[in-house]
């Protein structure tokens, strides 16, 4: 008789300890944050061929923006979009990564150049950084600086604003 009371008591304890949220019509995977259609469209356009794995609302310099993490071809990008749907920045998550290397690990031409430019001084804190190429372009009436690596993979795309464009 006492064992029959155990399941209802356990359920009551679980209900108090872990309250269940009221069910609504939205599937569990639906974002709880409302995203403006212009922002959603811009992020989807930038993520073409990849997938959005995270989306956050951020505040930069008093301006509300959205930042998505997009996974594409094994790389992760941070995509920043303003409320008007203008892409402010796309950047490879580890774009600024550099690797410390000893002078002996550097290519001979780089090592020789460092020694020559140091004019007999010691060469310290040598780092290998990603080789990059940059161009400027106009997209959707906005000026952007685009940076790629030596294989042409996007490293960074950033909106370039003139003082008169901020108005």
User: If you write DSSP's letter for every residue of 134-163 in order, what string do you get?
Assistant: EEEEEETTEEEEEEEETT--EEEEEEE--G
Provide the percentage of residues in the chain whose pLDDT is more than 70.
75
pLDDT tens-digit profile of 67-121? Answer: 999 999 889 999 999 999 999 999 998 766 677 888 888 888 888 888 888 888 8
Q: What pTM value is reported for the model?
A: 0.62
Least confident of 17-26, 128-137, 148-157, 158-167: 17-26
Q: How confident is the model at residue 16 (pLDDT cuts 50, 70, 90)?
A: very low
User: pLDDT class for 33, splitting at 50, 70, 90?
Assistant: low
- Spell out where 30-139 has E strands: 51-60, 63-72, 75-82, 87-92, 98-100, 127-129, 132-139
* Segment 154-163 mean pLDDT: 84
Name the average pLDDT for the chain. 78
């Amino acid at each position: 008789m006492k064992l029959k009371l155990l399941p209802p008591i356990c359920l009551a304890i679980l209900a108090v300890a872990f309250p269940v949220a009221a069910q609504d019509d939205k599937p569990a995977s639906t974002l709880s944050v409302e995203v403006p259609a212009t922002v959603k469209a811009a992020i989807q356009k930038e993520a073409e061929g990849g997938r959005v794995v995270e989306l956050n609302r951020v505040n930069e310099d008093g301006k509300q923006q959205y930042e998505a993490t997009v996974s594409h071809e094994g790389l992760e990008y941070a995509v920043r979009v303003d409320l008007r749907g203008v892409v402010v920045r796309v950047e490879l998550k580890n774009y600024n990564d550099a690797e410390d290397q000893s002078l002996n690990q550097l290519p001979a031409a780089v090592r020789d150049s460092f020694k020559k430019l140091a004019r007999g001084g010691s060469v310290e804190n040598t780092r290998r950084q990603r080789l990059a190429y940059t161009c400027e372009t106009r997209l959707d009436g906005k000026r952007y600086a685009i940076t790629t690596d030596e294989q042409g993979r996007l490293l960074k795309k950033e909106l370039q604003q003139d003082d008169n464009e901020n108005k």
